Amino acid sequence: MQKRTNAQPPVKFTGIKSKEVESTAAGIKAVTSAVKHVMDEMGLPRAVKALNAMNQKDGFDCSGCAWPDPDGHRSGLGEYCENGAKAIAEEATTKKVDPAFFAKHSVEEIGSWSDYRIGKSGRVTQPMMVKQGETHYSPISWTEAFKLIGKELNQLASPNEAVFYTSGRTSNEAAYMYQLFARQFGTNNLPDCSNMCHESSGAGLSQTVGIGKGSVTLEDFEHAELVLVIGQNPGTNHPRMLSALEDTKKNGGKIISINPLKEAGLMNFKHPQKPKHILGKGVQLTDLFLQVRINGDVALLKAFMKLLLEAEAKMPGTILDQEFISNKTLGFEELRTDLNNYAFDELVEQSGIPEAQVREAAQMLIERKKIIICWAMGLTQHKNGVHNIREVVNLLLMKGSIGKKGAGTCPVRGHSNVQGDRTMGIWEKPKPQFLNNLQREFDFAPPHAHGFDVVEAIEAMHANTAKVFIGMGGNFISATPDTEITAEALRNCSLTVHVSTKLNRSHVVHGKTALILPCITRSEKDVQKTGTQFVTVEDSMGVVHASEGKLKPLSNQLLSEPAIVARMAQSTLMPDASTDWAGFETNYDLVRDKIEATIPGFKDFNTRVRLPGGFYLPNNSRVGDFTPTPTGKANFTINKPSEVKLKEGEFAMMTIRTHDQFNTTIYGLHDRYRGIYNERRVILMNAKDIAQQGLKANDVVDIICEDDGHKRVAEKFIVYPYDIPVGCSATYFPEANVLVSLKNKAEISNTPASKLIVVRVEKSTE
């Protein structure tokens, strides 16, 4: 058994309760839940101010997910959802983690708390440091902290011994400055949360349609005849997407959901801001629910495509968009030939879905021309994650459903600015053109060798070839796979630095010296020498807009993220006339001018971003231009179905989010829509599997994964019978991350395959 190292949340049961699974998302319970969270964290006046400004054109961007705001009218009642309200409650909390808190609680003690308790402790109020041999964090001045960072970085044998991680909440301005700093220092080691998230989408889409972003806009949902939602739980993770799906339904469109779980939000929706909805029955969203086996999607999509080809053969020229295929694409014949290698019955069997339902769905595809496909982690976090995405593109290309109104790709992004951070150059594999632009504008020679992504960064720190870790937001230890290995990796470092808002586990699983640098949040006012600043973000549909905080910062010792980057850079790099770090800190317009000079699509940035609602970035696939692909056309591709074969007693386990968390930030201990209360250490299993294993509901099991010959154990999970396909199971992230081997990752994108871990369960002995 592993020893406990504080890298994982402790096993402490809190008295599980179950209620019926809910079939409707939002509604009055969402409103009451939101109000409770907001009131508990910040009290009435701050809450009213915060909620009134959130997602308004002159306010700040919700720090929840990346779902876009409507282009036109915004509701006076507020443009946010239950989870947006929870996100603001969590970040605008008035609870403080100050020096007295750190004097009272040792690093060791904080590590023994649950993630929920750690997060609920509150906001860090001033810079803190802990050194090897010390048991507690103590205050350090900003000046000393920056000096230390400069010294440690400059002591490294090579700039490639430093890792600059980014989480997707960072603004465009901070992200741009951060990547510039890393590159001027001399490395492309810029891993980010996207490596664990939509990297497979970026890789799959770039190759096939010439841009790593989705093609649809919000308006397209009003025109779509059919929307497929695959591997995504929007009711919890992108709640306002349900309004877009409602628009599709209002205009006669249909919705197919493909998921191992019948997620509440996919089935029925009561708009929390429409009184008629709240009191009435709500709107049924999904027309056809396909309960796919975990990683059965490529098989299912191939089955669809075979049926489409069959129908086209019967009525040539009516089902597929032949004109689009011949003018705009390459590789269709190869795909058609490859599909002959698969027997329809076997594909259906592999998908786990009854044949009649597969045929019904295919019929809906056959009869419609304007199709949107939405997806998230259920497709990307698989060994064949890139194949999943490319197979989605194959289907859309066959129907000519990219680059026209009411149709296209919709990878639904996670963090509120994860897409923007990538646009700003947070990427370990930068394009040469971008580096050349930096070289021209800032007069330095950027490194061209690719840097580390998340998995490679962990491996390098573990092997002691990377020694300084800097995290611009995020919670690296809890978000990453292979928790115990990652903990060793971080502890090997000579210095770990976290730019953070709230206390998290990464602060207590640290390097020989560790710093916490506290920053202001999105919702707080950012006043610099030249006046109040705003920042900018990019949503999931490529709209760039301003975000200006309104609340008073919780402590007068906080700095903004741009200020922190500027000062790190000044204390590390030689003074250099072509980069005005001090100017960047005092006036973010100067950063935006540089963004405009080096990144396409940002012409007149400072002017256009001041227009209410912002502006769309150019998107070739949105307008049906596929020339940026390697072949100059949209590419059909040959993709692999799942290769996982389960042995007797083995299960495919996915790690998913509850309704009460934002990634590693735990808002509460319930998963309301799934009817699970008070407990996060649960494993959802099919009742037949539970019986077959000689188990019963509420038994406590250890979950074991041995897929690379190394035994990983997640201790003590409660068996919870659930409507999930036989052979499949689910646990929550991050409790189960210890089971995800660093080697269990997607081909091409290197994304940890956290949606398919091969496990067995054993009754817990203690």
Residues lying near ligand SF4 in the complex (CB under 6 A): 55, 62, 64-65, 67, 80-81, 83-84, 87, 238-240
Strands of 33-95, DSSP E: none
**Looking at residue 174, what DSSP letter applies?**
H
* Separation CA 617–CA 621 (nearest Å): 12
Residue 688 amino acid letter: K
Residues contacting 114, CB < 8 A, separation 6+: 9, 10, 12, 666
Does residue 233 belong to the site contacting ligand MGD (CB under 6 A)?
A: yes
Q: What's the 3-state SS for 350-413?
A: HHCCCHHHHHHHHHHHHHCCCEEEEECHHHHCCCCHHHHHHHHHHHHHHCCCCCCCCCEEEECC
Among 97, 175, 226, 519, contact with ligand MGD (rule: CB under 6 A): 519
Q: In this complex, which beta carbon is closest to ligand SF4, that of residue 415 or of residue 505?
A: 415
Q: With CB cut-offs between 5 and 8 Å by kind, which of ligand SF4, ligand MGD, Mo ion, none does residue 240 bind?
A: ligand SF4
Q: With CB cut-offs between 5 and 8 Å by kind, which of Mo ion, ligand SF4, ligand MGD, none does residue 62 bind?
A: ligand SF4
Orientation of helix 82-91 relative to helix 44-53, angle to 10°: 120
Q: In this complex, which beta carbon is closest to Mo ion, that of residue 400 or of residue 542?
A: 542
Q: With CB cut-offs between 5 and 8 Å by kind, which of ligand MGD, Mo ion, ligand SF4, none does residue 297 bind?
A: ligand MGD
Does residue 414 belong to the site contacting Mo ion (CB under 5 A)?
A: yes
Among 145, 197, 203, 372, contact with ligand MGD (rule: CB under 6 A): 197
Do residues 261 and 352 make contact, with C-beta atoms less than 8 angstroms apart?
no
* Separation CA 433–CA 164 (nearest Å): 21
Site string for ligand MGD, 387-426 (x = CB under 6 A): ---------------------------xx-----------
Among 200, 629, 664, 729, contact with ligand MGD (rule: CB under 6 A): 664
Rg of the chain, C-alpha, whole Å: 25
Q: In angstroms, what is the minimal distance from the CB of 241 to ligand SF4?
A: 7
| Torsions phi, psi for 179 (to 5 deg) | -65, -35
Site string for ligand MGD, 581-620 (x = CB under 6 A): ----------------------------------------
**Looking at residue 177, what DSSP letter applies?**
H
Do residues 165 and 471 make contact, with C-beta atoms less than 8 angstroms apart?
yes
Q: In angstroms, what is the minimal distance from the CB of 474 to ligand MGD?
A: 3
Q: Tokens for 592? A: 């935006």
Q: Which single residue is written with the structure tokens 């308004």?
A: 56
Only segment of 206-214, 580-588, 660-668, 702-710 that touches ligand MGD (CB under 6 A)? 660-668
Site string for ligand MGD, 40-69 (x = CB under 6 A): ------------------------xx----
| Torsions phi, psi for 527 (to 5 deg) | -105, 125
**Looking at residue 105, what DSSP letter applies?**
S
Only segment of 38-46, 219-227, 234-242, 549-557 that touches ligand MGD (CB under 6 A)? 234-242
Does residue 629 belong to the site contacting ligand MGD (CB under 6 A)?
A: no
Q: With CB cut-offs between 5 and 8 Å by kind, which of ligand SF4, ligand MGD, Mo ion, none does residue 201 bind?
A: none
Q: Which helix (H) or strand (E) holds 267?
A: helix 264-267
Among 121, 184, 232, 248, contact with ligand MGD (rule: CB under 6 A): 232
Q: With CB cut-offs between 5 and 8 Å by kind, which of Mo ion, ligand SF4, ligand MGD, none does residue 84 bind?
A: ligand SF4
Q: In angstroms, what is the minimal distance from the CB of 602 to ligand SF4?
A: 23
Q: In this complex, which beta carbon is closest to ligand MGD, that of residue 227 or of residue 320?
A: 227
3-state secondary structure of 17: strand
Q: Which helix (H) or strand (E) holds 471?
A: strand 468-472
Q: With CB cut-offs between 5 and 8 Å by kind, which of ligand SF4, ligand MGD, Mo ion, none does residue 80 bind?
A: ligand SF4
Q: Tokens for 387? A: 């194949």
* Separation CA 230–CA 424 (nearest Å): 28
Do residues 499 and 521 make contact, with C-beta atoms less than 8 angstroms apart?
no
Among 83, 384, 394, 401, contact with ligand MGD (rule: CB under 6 A): 83
Residue 630 CA, distance from chain mean position: 27
Neighbours of 364 (CB within 10 A): 19
Site string for ligand MGD, 145-184 (x = CB under 6 A): ----------------------xxx---------------
Q: In angstroms, what is the minimal distance from the CB of 343 to ligand MGD?
A: 21
- As a residue count, the chain comes to 766
Q: What's the 3-state SS for 199-246?
A: HHHHHHHHHHHCCCCCCCCCCHHHHCCEEEEECCCHHHHCCCHHHHHH
Q: Is the peptide bond before 734 cis (omega within 30 degrees of 0)?
A: yes
Q: In angstroms, what is the minimal distance from the CB of 374 to ligand SF4?
A: 13
Q: In this complex, which beta carbon is closest to ligand SF4, that of residue 238 or of residue 271?
A: 238
Q: In this complex, which beta carbon is closest to Mo ion, that of residue 33 or of residue 664?
A: 664
Only segment of 103-111, 215-223, 406-414, 676-684 that touches Mo ion (CB under 5 A)? 406-414
Q: In this complex, which beta carbon is closest to ligand MGD, that of residue 259 or of residue 394?
A: 259
Does residue 378 belong to the site contacting ligand MGD (CB under 6 A)?
A: yes
Neighbours of 116 (CB within 10 A): 17
Q: Which residues bind Mo ion (CB under 5 A)?
A: 197, 414
Q: Which residues bind ligand MGD (CB under 6 A)?
A: 64-65, 83, 91, 167-169, 193, 196-197, 230-233, 236-238, 258-261, 263, 292, 294-295, 297, 376-378, 381, 414-415, 472-476, 479, 499-502, 504, 519, 521-522, 561, 654-657, 661-665, 733, 737, 740, 754-755
